[in-house]
Amino acid sequence: MEQQPGFEELCREMHHFVEERNWEQFHTPKNLAMSITIEAAELMEHFQWLTNEQSVDLIAQDPRRSEIIDELADILLYCLSFMHILDVDISHAILNKLERNKERYPIGTMPVID
């Protein structure tokens, strides 16, 4: 099985892609925040007006599944670019956020829906 790239390699690849095209000039905090939101809206559009059950069925269907995966990739690519301009270690940020969430939402405090 082929080794999948790690998070740092994905960050480097995205940065290299942007640099090769001289897109740094467009990658401002405002533009990247807007781009993340726009791509998230495009993801939501696939599920608009569906029931929960229909949304589960949808992700099993090609070509819609492929389109949804592309939207998720677009969102994450913009997040990687935003991370780069913030000069933040996203792995560290995620682990810190998870720790804060554990304190905020201890086990057993959230209702379980059957």
| Domain residue extents for the chain | 7-104
Domain 7-104, CATH: 1.10.287.1080
Percent of the chain with pLDDT over 90: 75
Arithmetic mean of pLDDT, 32-52: 97
Q: Is residue 23 over pLDDT 70?
A: yes
**ω into residue 106 within 30 of 0, thus cis?**
no
Helices (H), the chain: 7-20, 29-45, 52-58, 64-86, 90-104
pLDDT, position 112: 65
Q: Is residue 114 over pLDDT 80?
A: no
Arithmetic mean of pLDDT, 27-55: 97
Judged by DSSP in three states, 45 sits in helix
DSSP symbols for 64-80: HHHHHHHHHHHHHHHHH
Q: Is residue 108 over pLDDT 90?
A: no
